[in-house]
Amino acid sequence: MSTAVERKTKNYLTGLKEAMYEEMESNPDLICMGEDIGLLGGAFGVTDGMQAKYGAERVIDMPISESAIVGAACGMALNGKTVMAEMQFIDFISCGFDQIVNMVATYCYRTAGEVPIPMVIRGPAGGYGGGALYHSQMNEAWFCNSPGLKVVCPSTPSDAKGLLKAALRDPNPVVFYEIKELYRKRSIEEELLDGDDALIPLGKARVGREGTDLTLVSYGNPYHLSLSAAKKLEEFGFSAEVIDLRTLVPLDEETITESLSRTNRLLVVNEAPMTCGFAGEVLARLSQAAFEHLDAPPARVTRTDTPVPWATPLESDVLPSVDDIVEAALKLCRY
């Protein structure tokens, strides 16, 4: 008779789920709200079982109106609650854009720092899964450009858990990007810590791979593409260091600068469009902060400036690939 072997490693989605369950348990003022997050447990199952355990007054099914979700969440936060507001897909966060950038982001400033807004707006983002133009966006630059918001994008299960726990404890509003292509990806599973041991501070990047010839900076799914590219670069005799930003705002320039002091070359990879994308912000910041370390023009690999197509060959053509990263990296290393 065979017995099932319990898996010690857990996926990205489980990391998010554990973070919310632990924070719901430790913070009785935490409220979760969003479309279908209660009875359905969320479109991807991140909030599965939460309403049954904590009740419909703490896990609230909302109408299909992102502006109403964000507005109600803001009101609850002003009245002493900590709020997690889920966007069913991050693409539709644009429907709540006014509430986020003109109300939520500015409240602390408008009250001279006296009124915090402890809320997290989270949702699935990114391409590579055939979601087409309405379910594949990375629009993080919109909110990086809005003072008053913190912006987070984890790449691993442990970071998904630790960063979400930190975001739910932060008195400032956080926009939290989850990469749906990573939700159940087996190859990135990890053992997860519990409680406060799992916490990861916002604003601190992580060196995922050490190297000497080039610094690759990324986050989300392209972080894993960058790791794969770094392995391929070894075949050409080059050693790439790979940095996972984890938090975009505030940006950890110090970790990148320290890396560039050794590698002297910078390549930034993300899956948002190139024009006015966050990769360009990283290049601008580090070109100024670490110019004396650079031996080649800093470069970026991004999505092309088009919507994400549905057909797999077309989607693959517009989104960054391992080969795209290797090609750009070789140009820098041979400059």
Distance CA 312, CA 136 (A): 13
First-to-last alpha carbon distance for the chain, in angstroms, is 61
Active-site residue flag, 135: yes
Number of H helices, E strands in the chain: 12, 12
3-class SS at 107? helix
Distance CA 120, CA 123 (A): 10
Q: What is the dihedral of CA 43, 247, 173, 198, to 10 degrees?
A: 70
243 backbone dihedrals φ, ψ, rounded to 5°: -110, 130
**Residue 110 is inside which H or E element, if any?**
helix 107-110
From 10, 135, 293, 303, the catalytic residue? 135
302 backbone dihedrals φ, ψ, rounded to 5°: -140, 180
**Residue 328 is inside which H or E element, if any?**
helix 322-333
Among the listed residues 128, 92, 138, 141, the one whose alpha carbon sits nearest the alpha carbon of residue 272: 138
Please provide the size of the chain in residues: 335
Residue pointed to by tokens 């930003």: 245
3-class SS at 103? helix
Helix, strand, coil shares of the chain, percent, nearest 5, are 40, 20, 40
- Inter-CA distances, 318 with 128, 202, 283, 313, 330, Å: 10, 31, 21, 9, 20
Residues known to be catalytic = 135
